[in-house]
Amino acid sequence: MFSTGNSMAVGNDILDIGTQKYEQRQQQVSAGSGSMCPSAIQFGEPGAFDVPNVADPAAFCRANFASASGNKDANQAIKFAKGTTTLAFKFNGGIIVSVDSRSTMGAYIASGTVKKVIEINPFLLGTMAGGAADCSFWERNLGTQCRMYELRNKKRISVAAASKLLANTTNAYRGYGLSMGTMITGWDETGPQLYYVDNDGTRLKGNMFAVGSGSTYAYGILDTFYRKDLTIEEAIDLGKRAIYHATHRDAYSGGINNLYHVTKEGWTKIHAIDVNEMHYEFAEEKKNAMQST
Amino acid sequence: MASYLSAANAVQARNGQLALPIHTSEGGAMIPVSLGANNDCHADDIDHGVTRATYERGFSPYEFNGGTTLAISGPDYAVVAADTRLSSGYEILSRNVTKLHALTDKCVLGSAGCKTDVDQLRSVLDIKMKIYAHNHRKPMSTPSVAQMLGNTLYYKRFFPYYAFNVLAGVDSEGKGAVYSYDAIGSFERTPFSASGSGQSFLIPLMDNVIAHKNRLDEKRDLPSEEVVEIVKDAFVTAGERDIYTGDAVEIMVITKDGLTTETFKLKAD
């Protein structure tokens, strides 16, 4: 039976058990073609994301649906929730991951209690900076992929591979206005690892990263006081201070400092302290230091 | 006119001015024409300058239909409320359209934004929940609905649903659960949530009264009846300052025993 494109002749598909329609469907998988049934009502795996049916979907999405950081989405009709100062650094005792918890939509603080550290599995952590929905969706998707890897290969995935999976995803949607600045960190067979993955598809291995609108303030503190041989208490204190200073000066950061420590046994959450309380704690400290000199 | 040349030939001189006779369903007309002798000849002159006239162009798939929703969670209940006004620009299209939708008897979705996107989102969610109930032989629990709604919104990341949602319900332990969303599915479980045009008027009030911020008196657990009264006062306030909020507020209280609804009239101005 030869299929003649859109054969709408009456009676033509009475004998069809679905093959012809199936084949026609398979041909129409171009993104933005608009001719396919919206994937919103296909209940299996979403094969492709719906994109607007315009000549240049990437440019349209970038212009109208970007979850850009700072104020770049000020003229968009829909503003998305964005997150902002996260940092992580490696030292002799493992890795410290320290984040704030503020989420903003334009100039409105949508939430002061966002969880910006995503627990992918007991040995892998991902941080969230940039578009909140982008980060949480793709990192959850990464968790699924990591679990599939474990089931197929009977061993835990390495941090390098996990970060590569995420970088491949962001590369595929490059130019569409996704905003994600995330750090994938964990402890695998090769030791503690820290990778930075970006919405451009950038993937960098490193010892210390700070990401988000408050990152420059955090770098100031980190670069000044960081040493490889910090003790665990000193490292926790450094992570805490760096976030405090970033939230103090950056309007888009604030809320609660969530701090995690990654060791060979996996990650543990160390504390969740309101940065407002830290302000008074450090003020006290400064006063005492001034008085003793 | 088949070509510029034939059009040029059809132009006649009337009253010392070049004009083109046209025939429309309402009779004949003479349109003034300039044929490029002066410098005001443009590439789009074939349509007699219509495209250079200033009028509204461009199609936007989104429209804001107004409205406000509010949800508050308690130790064993959740209260969700939304006004019933549907607007478009400065017009009120209806005073009696609901923004609340019960997905299960333990879970209600309130959405403000663009009504057609909200309706489509609800249809999609209803279908997915029916499939889940068939596959798992039980209705979906509220935290699962929350995650599914987040994913459903994100699958339209590149052409979002213009819907600002709050999800309220009781979880499997019977505790109140409220989730707030942004347009593309970033969500979080919170003690309370408001969305829509009156969001900025309600949230500060909730921060003070429900979350007890900036207060010196002792915080106490509120019974659901008191929360319902607070919600009514909140909507009266929002209705005073927001043009898109008013007419009536529909309040639903969700407990592990089910759902109750109440409608409270607001000012219709």
Q: Report the CATH number at residue B127.
A: 3.60.20.10
Domain range enclosing A97:
86-292
Work out the angle between the directed axes of helices A215-225 and A232-249 (0-180°, nearest 10): 150
C-beta of residue B237 within 8 angstroms of C-beta of residue B199:
no
Binary contact (A133, B127; C-beta < 8 A) = no
Residue B44 belongs to some domain of the structure: no
H or E stretch covering A271: strand A266-274
Q: How far apart are CA A76 and CA A78, in angstroms?
A: 5
Whether residue B178 is contained in a domain is answered as yes
Q: Does residue B183 belong to any structural domain of this protein?
A: yes
Residue A202 lies in a domain: yes
- Give B-chain residues touching A115 at CB under 8 angstroms: 188
Residue B214 at interface with chain A, using a CB cutoff of 8 Å? no
Q: Is residue A269 part of a domain?
A: yes
Give this complex's ipTM. 0.74
Cα B141 to chain centroid distance, Å, stands at 26
**DSSP label of A107:** T
| CA A67 – CA B195 distance, rounded (Å) | 19
Q: What is the pTM of this model?
A: 0.76
In a domain, A31, yes or no: no
Which run of H or E residues covers position B258? strand B258-265
**Residue A63: inside a domain:** no
Out of B160, B185, B200, name the one closest to residue A137 (CB).
Answer: B185
A29: pLDDT strictly greater than 70: no
Q: Is residue B29 part of a domain?
A: no
Q: Are B39 and B30 in contact (CB under 8 A)?
A: no
Per-residue pLDDT reduced to its tens digit, A114-154: 899 999 888 999 998 888 899 989 999 999 999 999 999 99
Catalytic, out of A19, A84, A216, A247: A84
Find the CATH number of the domain harbouring A270. 3.60.20.10
Encoded tokens for A45? 């795996």
Closest approach of B5 to chain A, Cα-based (Å)? 33
Query: Could you give the 3-state DSSP secondary structure of residue B182?
Result: coil
Q: Is residue B36 part of a domain?
A: no
**Which positions in chain B touch A113 (Cβ < 8 Å)?**
188, 190
Q: Closest to B183 (Cβ–Cβ): which among A39, A80, A178?
A: A80
Q: Is residue A176 part of a domain?
A: yes
CB distance B153 to B161 below 8 Å: yes
For chain A, percent of residues with pLDDT exceeding 70 = 77
Give the whole-angstrom CA distance, residue B10 versus residue A52. 44
Please indicate, yes or no, if residue B120 is contained in any of the structural domains. Answer: yes
pLDDT tens digits, one per residue of B212-267: 999 999 999 999 999 999 999 999 999 999 999 999 999 999 999 999 999 999 99
pLDDT band, very low/low/confident/very high, at A61 (cuts 50, 70, 90): confident
H or E stretch covering B23: strand B17-24
pLDDT (tens place) for every residue of chain B, 269 residues total: 455 566 566 666 656 666 777 776 666 777 766 555 555 555 555 555 555 554 455 677 788 898 999 999 999 999 999 999 999 988 999 999 999 999 999 999 999 999 999 999 999 999 999 999 999 999 999 999 999 999 999 999 988 999 999 999 999 999 999 999 988 899 999 999 999 999 999 999 999 999 999 999 999 999 999 999 999 999 999 999 999 999 999 999 999 999 999 999 999 98
pLDDT digits (tens, 9 = 90+) for A66-105: 665 544 555 565 666 555 899 999 999 999 999 999 988 7
Q: Does the distance separating the beta carbons of B157 and A134 come in below 8 Å?
A: yes
B177 belongs to a structural domain = yes
Q: How many domains does chain B have?
A: 1
DSSP string, B125-166: HHHHHHHHHHHHSSPPPHHHHHHHHHHHHHTTTTS---EEEE
In chain A, the N- to C-terminal Cα span, in Å, equals 94
Q: What does the DSSP assignment read for A193-223?
A: EEEEEETTS-EEE-SEEEESTTHHHHHHHHH
Does the annotation count A4 as an active-site position?
Answer: no
A121 in a structural domain: yes
B24, part of any domain? no
B214: left (phi over 0), alpha (psi -120 to 50) or beta: left
What order of strands is seen across the sheet that includes strand A117-121? A117-121, A124-127, A181-188, A191-198, A203-205
Q: 3-class DSSP state for residue B196? A: strand
Q: Which domain holds residue B91?
A: 68-266
Report the number of distinct structural domains present in chain A: 1
Q: Alpha carbon of A164 to those of A146, A150, A289, B8: distances in Å?
A: 11, 16, 46, 65
**CB distance B131 to B89 below 8 Å:** no
